[in-house]
Amino acid sequence: MTRRDALKLALAAGLVGAPLLAGSRLMIESSGAAYPRAPLYVEESDGAGNNAPLALLCPKDAAAHVWLELLRVEGLPYARVLTITEAISTGVHIAAAIVLPGSVSSAEVEALREFVVAGGGLIAIQPDAALAPLCGLTWSEITTREGYLRIQPGAMGTEGIAGDAMQFHAPLRHYAINEADAVAYLCDRDGIAAQAPAVAYRRLGKGAVATWCYDLAASVVRTRQGPIERIDAEADGLEGVRAIDRFVGFLDLDCVHLPQADEQQRLLVNLLNEVSAAPLPRLWYFPGNANSVLVCTGDSHNNPAPAVDEVLRRVEAWGGTMSVYYTPPPTNTVRRAIRRVRDWLKEQPVLSNALPPTDVVTPYHVETWRDRGHEFALHPYVEEGLEVGWERYWRQFTGLRYGEFTTSRTHRVLWHGWAETARVQAGYGVRMNLDYYHVGPAFQRPDGSWAFGYFTGSGLPMRFVDADGRLIDNWQQTTHLVDEHLIEMPWGANFVRSTPVQAIEIATGLIRRAASGAYAALGAQFHLDPFAVPGPWSEGARLFLDAALAACAEYGLPVLSGARWLAFTQARTATRMTDFQPLSETGDSSFDTSFTVEIEAPNIALTLLLPVRYRHFHLTELQANRKLIPIHTRQVGATLYAQMELQSAVTLVEARYVNA
């Protein structure tokens, strides 16, 4: 045994005091890692080349980065950001489609009219009085602060969009229909339409204009994050401020079954495809050909290693991976140092038998679990303050040599500010937050029934926006399916008072809907505590976990840890589409188009979608890196797409469309 190992053994036996250890490497490491100062905000780049078919024209009063993020969520990562002056100087061939949030001058309106008449597509967001006539609308001073909208059945671009009344959360201007057709109307809670359109469509010359009568991007952010004016609200019936507190009285529980924000985003993509002067490629939401995924997570409050391992093996039995959000025991630096030495000794064949048995989670357990594909991350307590709690538990976690991590959930899902929790976490390198959490009395209707689904209006991750409109480098991933909401836990819970069988029916229903068109990354919470603390709750927890995993297998949902889902999300977001070639027409009978896709992680199972139909043309030939590939299709909303798995870091995509 080396002298260093002998000293470690002496420490483990308590023979060497703290003074001797002061300043040693072990003590320094056991004090925990320093604050990493990871980037807080997204460094914005549109990532598009000069010939990208989609342009975002942003006046000074529009938030380009939020619109870019919304388009990225929908798989359109190639919008060029231009000023209106730059766009006008480029002329009518600036892009196949333009998204225009904000106001324009009379001269700029004429340039946009020429663009549309020549065949371009325009998405106008709450146009001002100068632009409204181009959209086929008459401007009005009347607005509705927020409310409900409903699509007009059979209207342009509405195929695949929910026909129920949906909430929006941004001022809607009451334009009058003139030369446009309504796609969606302002309506009341029961879906009875008013006269004012919410979305409109107009053909003009060779092109078309679709108009949003409210700011869709602002509405999506407010729908997802809740109203900023209620950041200190205490309204959910549970002690402590949580994100869900902001949604009480803001969210209509009869709309929770719908991913309302996602539905409205998909309507945008439908209409982009309708107005565009070229077919618009798109990235699919999920890995491979999956219709949805389950983001499998479980909070663990210093639970022993055998309990953690049991849960992970149950997940593995269904081909899945899981994130364990672990709260380490509160200890000082000396005790962490002693524990680290004992952990090391337990791994030594000669010495391990000399130590008393223990089920404490060691770095060696964590390394093994990570090697098996799971995530082991921090579950901090922040009752004494957000920054104090994170600093303390970060040092506890890293001081025990558990390593770094990229996703997290806070104990009791306590929340600070509008997006302050997300910002602080980003500084620690956390890139996905699961604190928006479906739990508690807030989801009970006055008649006693319970609402389940998408309280943020979304089943898709999107990065947080702070109070100043900046994009935080931390994705909001809602936890839609929460065990403690539905079944008994060691501390009680089970707000719904459901049996395990009833809880399984609820979980299976969510999974079935996600697989059937309500495309979602369903965040799921399976606490590890019921597996560690024997009691009447243990069997229910096992039944609930196994049944949810079985439902995922039945309906084809991959079961992914938060870290793996984040890795996919990051790779998808970072994907670049460049070198778009203008449509090469061969008379009126056909045309060719091509572009290049660059991805950072070729093994991440990204899928490219390309419209099968464009106006009166039909896709007949598709090539990847000069190799002809078979055309397999997927219907998403109003658009039928051809699918292509992206298997290379760089893929040249070439397509031929023939007049049908």
pLDDT single digits (tens) 576-634: 999 998 776 666 789 999 999 999 887 899 999 999 999 889 999 999 999 999 999 99
Strands 432-433 and 176-177: unpaired
Q: What's the confidence (pLDDT) of residue 13?
A: 42
Give the integer Cα–Cα distance in Å for 406 and 623: 36
pLDDT above 90 (res 553): yes
Q: What's the confidence (pLDDT) of residue 94?
A: 84
Domains of the chain: 54-225+265-282 (3.40.50.880), 293-571 (3.20.20.370), 576-659 (no CATH)
Average the pLDDT over 136-165 and give the result.
97
pLDDT above 70 (res 542): yes
Give the integer Cα–Cα distance in Å for 317 and 309: 12
pLDDT above 60 (res 11): no
Q: What's the confidence (pLDDT) of residue 458?
A: 98
pLDDT above 50 (res 303): yes
- Taking all residues of the chain, what is their mean pLDDT, rounded to a whole number? 92
84-128 pLDDT tens trace: 878 777 776 789 999 999 888 888 999 999 999 999 999 999 999
Q: What's the confidence (pLDDT) of residue 388?
A: 97
DSSP letter assigned to residue 23 = T
Q: Where are the alpha helices (DSSP H) in 556-646?
A: 562-574
Cβ within 8 Å of residue 8, ≥6 positions away = 26, 341, 344, 345
Average the pLDDT over 58-63 and give the result.
68
Give the integer Cα–Cα distance in Å for 110 and 242: 49
Q: Give the tokens for residue 226.
A: 């809740």
Q: What's the confidence (pLDDT) of residue 583?
A: 74
Average the pLDDT over 77-81 and give the result.
94
pLDDT above 60 (res 642): yes
pLDDT above 50 (res 389): yes
Q: What's the confidence (pLDDT) of residue 18?
A: 43
241-271 pLDDT tens trace: 999 999 999 999 999 999 999 999 999 999 9
pLDDT band at 33 (very low <50, low <70, confident <90, very high): confident
Q: Is the dihedral of CA 234, 235, 238, 243 positive or negative?
A: negative
pLDDT above 80 (res 190): yes
Length of the chain: 660
Choose among 107, 148, 149: nearest CA to 130. Answer: 107
Q: What's the confidence (pLDDT) of residue 51?
A: 85
DSSP letter assigned to residue 527 = -
Q: What's the confidence (pLDDT) of residue 599?
A: 94
Neighbours of 174 (CB within 10 A): 17
Q: What's the confidence (pLDDT) of residue 102?
A: 83
Give the integer Cα–Cα distance in Å for 167 and 144: 12
Count how many Cα atoms sit within 13 Å of the Cα of residue 359 in the half-sphere of its side chain.
10
Task: Report the percent of the chain where pLDDT is more than 70.
Answer: 90
Give the integer Cα–Cα distance in Å for 104 and 262: 28
Q: What's the confidence (pLDDT) of residue 23?
A: 45
Average the pLDDT over 327-347 and give the result.
70
**Residue 415 CA: distances (Å) to CA of 124, 238, 442, 454, 618:** 36, 13, 16, 19, 50
Average the pLDDT over 282-299 and give the result.
98
pLDDT above 50 (res 15): no
Q: Give the tokens for residue 54.
A: 């989609």
Q: Are 303 and 531 in contact (CB under 8 A)?
A: yes
Return the biggest CA–CA distance within the chain. Answer: 89
Q: What's the confidence (pLDDT) of residue 586?
A: 60
Orientation angle between helical segments 363-371 and 333-346, nearest 10 degrees: 60
Q: What's the confidence (pLDDT) of residue 308?
A: 98
Does 7 or 229 have the greater pLDDT score?
229
Q: Choose the weakest-confidence range: 255-259, 356-360, 537-541.
A: 356-360
Q: Which amino acid is present at 54? A: L
Q: How far apart, in Å, do the first and last CA atoms of the chain sit?
A: 80
Q: What's the confidence (pLDDT) of residue 232?
A: 87
Q: What's the confidence (pLDDT) of residue 122?
A: 98
pLDDT band at 344 (very low <50, low <70, confident <90, very high): low
pLDDT above 70 (res 132): yes
pLDDT above 60 (res 641): yes
Task: Report the percent of the chain where pLDDT is more than 90.
Answer: 81
Neighbours of 61 (CB within 10 A): 8
pLDDT above 70 (res 12): no
pLDDT band at 5 (very low <50, low <70, confident <90, very high): very low
Choose among 426, 416, 468, 460: nearest CA to 572. Answer: 460
Element (H, E) at 78: none
The structure tokens 């298997």 sit at 647
pLDDT above 60 (res 3): no
Q: What's the confidence (pLDDT) of residue 338?
A: 62
pLDDT band at 34 (very low <50, low <70, confident <90, very high): confident
Q: Are 484 and 541 in contact (CB under 8 A)?
A: no
Count how many Cα atoms sit within 13 Å of the Cα of residue 97 in the half-sphere of its side chain.
26
Average the pLDDT over 534-548 and give the result.
97
Cβ within 8 Å of residue 206, ≥6 positions away = 117, 118, 119
Q: What's the confidence (pLDDT) of residue 625?
A: 97
pTM of the model: 0.93
Does 351 or 6 have the greater pLDDT score?
351
Average the pLDDT over 134-145 and give the result.
97
Q: What's the confidence (pLDDT) of residue 339?
A: 67
